[in-house]
Structure 1
Amino acid sequence: MTAEAEITEDQLAELIRAMDEAAAAYIRGDIHHYLSLFDHPDDYTLMPPYGGETSRGFVYTEEGAAATAEFFASGEAWLDVVESYVSGSLAVLVAVERQHGEVGGYPDQDWSLRVTLVFRRAGERWEIVHRHADPLVRQIPFDQFARLARGET
């Protein structure tokens, strides 16, 4: 087995720039541009910001792309990186996607998310292998957290 080449500072900076661009594309519903920036391999996992089970894999369909474009009507986003880590061919970004927009039929509002993103370098491309997002950018009272943990709204 050969050792993976370490990710360079330039490659990490390009990854951060591309993820910033990806966040902006997604909130605007431009799923095709978002998907052009990163590959989603078979071992991709997603922990969505609204909770629920972790999904595995990624299957592209035109119907799914159209639904995403309709759900995310417009908006702006930028990536606020808190920390980054690299090891071999893996890069981890800990960040806040600062964003607002018209999402799910709601008028323009803040949709900022805390995100942990894991990427793998595969040749000249980046694969996103894990995304964990949550809306807890602002602290909530512990009793509200306890209700959420119990599955109450």
Structure 2
Amino acid sequence: MHWYMTQADELTALVRRTSDAAKAFIRGDVRSYVELLPHAGDYTLMPPYGEVRHGFDHSDASLAATARWFQGGEAELEVVRVDRSGDLAVIAAVERQRGVVGGLPEQDWSLRVTLVFRFEDGDWKLVHRHADPLVHPIDHERLSVLARGASRPDGPQ
């Protein structure tokens, strides 16, 4: 913690950075996103569409590809909870997003997110991000379809 900031001030600043990063990301401004939320070397991502990833690819090619995928939009961070214990901080939130992603028409891309940060080398580094699209309630049957990886109720188990 910086000597001149209280823990509450520091968490408020981290939430503001996280909000600004979400806005930059949906616009395709990946470089600003990375500047706002530096990733730890042992970063993990649990993206909304499945496969867990380890590490963050900072290469120009990867950042450019991500920037092309996220073609514009708006985001607001709706904070559900913020906690800190020692050098770890957790933000649970809903990223209320609308934009053009992956060439699809503009639509709602809101996500529930849990972000874990670790304070190291004088800054908060993103250690883990988990995101899912279950912002809108679904019934048990639809959940079972998603859980087994099917696309419809009578799909494979």
Q: TM-score, normalised by structure 2?
A: 0.90
Structure 2 residue aligned with 1:152: 150
Structure 2 residue aligned with 1:108: 106
- Counterparts in 2 of 1:54-65, with a 5 A limit? 54-65=52-63
Opposite residue 149 of structure 2, the aligned amino acid is G
**Which residue, 94, 97, 108 being the options, matches 1:96?**
94
The answer to whether the 8 Å contact 1:29/1:72 transfers is: yes
Opposite residue 81 of structure 1, the aligned amino acid is V
- Looking at structure 2, the residues matched to 139 and 51 of structure 1 have their Cα atoms a distance apart, in angstroms, of 19
Does 1 or 2 have the higher relative contact order (CA < 8 Å, sep 6+)? 1
Is it true that 1:135 corresponds to 2:133 in the alignment?
yes
Structure 1 residue aligned with 2:154: none
Is it true that 1:82 corresponds to 2:86 in the alignment?
no
What is the DSSP-based 3-state SS (H/G/I as helix, E as strand, rest coil) of the residue aligned with 2:63? helix
- Looking at structure 2, the residues matched to 69 and 38 of structure 1 have their Cα atoms a distance apart, in angstroms, of 16
Opposite residue 44 of structure 1, the aligned amino acid is Y
Tell me the CA shift for residue 64 of structure 1: 0.9
Aligned residues: 148
- Looking at structure 2, the residues matched to 83 and 38 of structure 1 have their Cα atoms a distance apart, in angstroms, of 18
What residue ranges of structure 2 are gaps of 5+ in the alignment? 152-157
- Looking at structure 2, the residues matched to 85 and 38 of structure 1 have their Cα atoms a distance apart, in angstroms, of 17
Opposite residue 105 of structure 2, the aligned amino acid is P
- Looking at structure 1, the residues matched to 13 and 34 of structure 2 have their Cα atoms a distance apart, in angstroms, of 16
Q: Deviations over 1:49-71 (max 9, x none)?
A: 1112x211112111111111111
What is the aligned-residue identity percentage? 53
Structure 2 residue aligned with 1:119: 117
Tell me the CA shift for residue 96 of structure 1: 0.1
What is the DSSP-based 3-state SS (H/G/I as helix, E as strand, rest coil) of the residue aligned with 2:100? strand
Tell me the CA shift for residue 123 of structure 1: 3.9
The answer to whether the 8 Å contact 1:42/1:56 transfers is: no
Structure 1 residue aligned with 2:49: 50
Which contiguous aligned blocks of 4+ residues in structure 1 show a shift greater than 4 angstroms?
A: none
Tell me the CA shift for residue 138 of structure 1: 0.4
**Which residue, 38, 43, 67 being the options, matches 2:65?**
67
Opposite residue 106 of structure 1, the aligned amino acid is L
- Looking at structure 2, the residues matched to 19 and 40 of structure 1 have their Cα atoms a distance apart, in angstroms, of 12
Tell me the CA shift for residue 40 of structure 1: 1.2
